[in-house]
Structure 1
């Protein structure tokens, strides 16, 4: 029987196997699903989820959660869309969207760390506030007629590869290196693994939690820009319910809801899986309303499995420590 401690080291590998099996199984039913064109489209369509999963990973690593990202995506997309529609530059639209995300993330982080509000309650409240703000800003109307130059960004290719795909892949690599190889990057996981211990060794826990929320909301704003460029319009329901899919993607990719464990690479692969499931349902001719049910079911199953394995790991660690103490005692005697 393999060691349970090796589970965390191979979570990304298992997620890749899950992705491969998904394509193989659906491909057996409909061979068009495993065509080169569809695989490339699956990656392109998952960019939105990858960016969101990257941001969510920072928050989950610290042991917190953020369910306001769908609303942040919608508001950022709507505001930037109005700026572009009314003749503003792409640069101003991007900066404005990022600023919106940064402010909302800062408020979430402040509420959680300074006011001691549960991250679930804080971000749930923010979700509703931001949604209403979007409706008021757009007067309940869709934002349409975005300039072709902006919509063209999502179609640009470099050496035959989608430009946004290249940018997102590079971002995943750089963020992964930051979280895994840099001292400050490892702080996020250290906080979620043992917050009291992190405080004792001098890690500024509150500051890094606020940073995590800011990064997450900024990623949601960037995802809003990608959404607007790909779709070409912004509805009043843009991003509704996407937070559950993103959380499921991150957890599927090996990010623990209890904090301290996970990687950007795993979360990104999980995002591709969740996006591919939506595409698979189309190829299998399954009604679209099953998307949410499947996402919710996967989230429940993954969380239960994660809890069981974490409990076993804890018991094993306690047992090993007790055995070590017994051996030390015997040696002393």
Structure 2
């Protein structure tokens, strides 16, 4: 019973429950929303955000922010697209994208660790720089004429399941196991929870903060590759504004902006919810200009309700501990 209670109290469980309720409620309005085809489509649409949310989770766990992921995605997608368009191999394009993403992550980490710049300010500046570099690199033009075999990558199925979906889900699971089961993975939570305590325990705090930014940059680069394979072209404003959606997805999935709390599974579920909400509004025939307002309002409501539930659970736990102490004292007397 206690095991079941602990599962129910998990933020990730409540996020999953909301996702299920979302599909059920919208399904009552439009049964087509519950079709396997739409569910598969919603999952495919969220892959980009899931990959970005995984990288962002590493940074958030350490108590920092990475606002530059939109610019990293746009720049790496443009580089990847031009390499493929000009006859380069998929391996070369992916490798170049990953190297660029890792390099941007290193620059972010250097600014935050060595120059002592706020992660928000540092990554915001890098966001602007990467966006300008993308425009210069592409001469202000869209990257088009991507080979058909590249666009076909996102459509490959194995036993009826999309290959890209399988790879992303497997990556989320492996990352979750690393962060929760390995001692080095738990360093990220420890740093965000108490930096001074992490230092006293001998954790190389600066190194792991740098790792978190590099991982975020690499995830943004991988998202750029997914973007090219799914969309088939790269506009000059690709990735613009996506960082806010990703941060919202992480918060929705239970990752704290203060650091030390959260999982990549929760962040991934949050990403699926946000993309599902947008498709739900289409199926409910809500005018497109209401999308951002409704999505933002739902996000605020969900986070507030969850915060109240968490606060209530904390008060109950505190009361139980207090009662236990009283009983223990009475027994001693």
Q: TM-score, normalised by structure 2?
A: 0.90
On the 8 A contact 1:244/1:296 being kept in 2, the answer is no
- Residues 165-244 of structure 1 mapped to structure 2, 5 A cutoff: 165-244=165-244
On the 8 A contact 2:12/2:254 being kept in 1, the answer is yes
| Partner residue, 2:143 | 143
Structure 1: distance between partners of 2:117 and 2:332: 49
Query: Does the alignment pair 1:76 with 2:73?
Result: no
1:148 offset after TM fit, Å? 1.0
Structure 2: distance between partners of 1:308 and 1:22: 20
Residues 22, 312 of structure 1: alpha-carbon distance in 2 compared, 3 angstrom cutoff = closer
| Partner residue, 1:130 | 130
On the 8 A contact 1:61/1:192 being kept in 2, the answer is yes
On the 8 A contact 2:135/2:141 being kept in 1, the answer is yes
Structure 2: distance between partners of 1:319 and 1:63: 29
1:60 offset after TM fit, Å? 0.8
Q: What per-residue deviation string (whole Å, max 9, x for no partner) do you get for residues 159-212 of structure 1?
A: 111110110111011101000000000000111111111111111111111100
1:282 offset after TM fit, Å? 1.2
1:241 offset after TM fit, Å? 1.2
| Partner residue, 1:39 | 39
Structure 1: distance between partners of 2:66 and 2:85: 30
Structure 2: distance between partners of 1:74 and 1:210: 22
| Partner residue, 2:293 | 293
Structure 1: distance between partners of 2:323 and 2:10: 27
Q: What per-residue deviation string (whole Å, max 9, x for no partner) do you get for residues 2-25 of structure 1?
A: 9xx969951111011100111011
| Partner residue, 1:94 | 94
Residues 287, 255 of structure 1: alpha-carbon distance in 2 compared, 3 angstrom cutoff = same
On the 8 A contact 2:8/2:14 being kept in 1, the answer is no
Task: Report the RMSD for the aligned CA atoms in angstroms.
Answer: 2.7
Structure 1: distance between partners of 2:154 and 2:51: 14
On the 8 A contact 1:245/1:295 being kept in 2, the answer is no
Residues 7, 306 of structure 1: alpha-carbon distance in 2 compared, 3 angstrom cutoff = farther
1:297 offset after TM fit, Å? 3.1
| Partner residue, 1:64 | 64
Structure 1: distance between partners of 2:325 and 2:202: 29
Structure 1: distance between partners of 2:28 and 2:139: 47
Q: What per-residue deviation string (whole Å, max 9, x for no partner) do you get for residues 224-267 of structure 1?
A: 11011001001111111111111111111111111111111111
Structure 2: distance between partners of 1:60 and 1:80: 27
Q: What per-residue deviation string (whole Å, max 9, x for no partner) do you get for residues 64-91 of structure 1?
A: 1111111111111001100111111111
On the 8 A contact 1:256/1:306 being kept in 2, the answer is no
Residues 305, 103 of structure 1: alpha-carbon distance in 2 compared, 3 angstrom cutoff = farther
Find the residue that maps to 1:183 and give its secondary structure.
coil
Structure 2: distance between partners of 1:148 and 1:182: 41
- Residues 306-321 of structure 1 mapped to structure 2, 5 A cutoff: none
5+ unaligned residues in a row in structure 1: which ranges?
none
Structure 1: distance between partners of 2:162 and 2:7: 34
5+ unaligned residues in a row in structure 2: which ranges?
none
1:127 offset after TM fit, Å? 0.9
Residues 40, 64 of structure 1: alpha-carbon distance in 2 compared, 3 angstrom cutoff = same
Find the residue that maps to 1:47 and give its secondary structure.
helix
1:135 offset after TM fit, Å? 0.7
1:288 offset after TM fit, Å? 2.6
1:321 offset after TM fit, Å? 9.3
Query: Does the alignment pair 1:51 with 2:51?
Result: yes
Structure 1: distance between partners of 2:156 and 2:172: 20
Residues 269, 281 of structure 1: alpha-carbon distance in 2 compared, 3 angstrom cutoff = same
On the 8 A contact 2:70/2:239 being kept in 1, the answer is yes
| Partner residue, 1:27 | 27
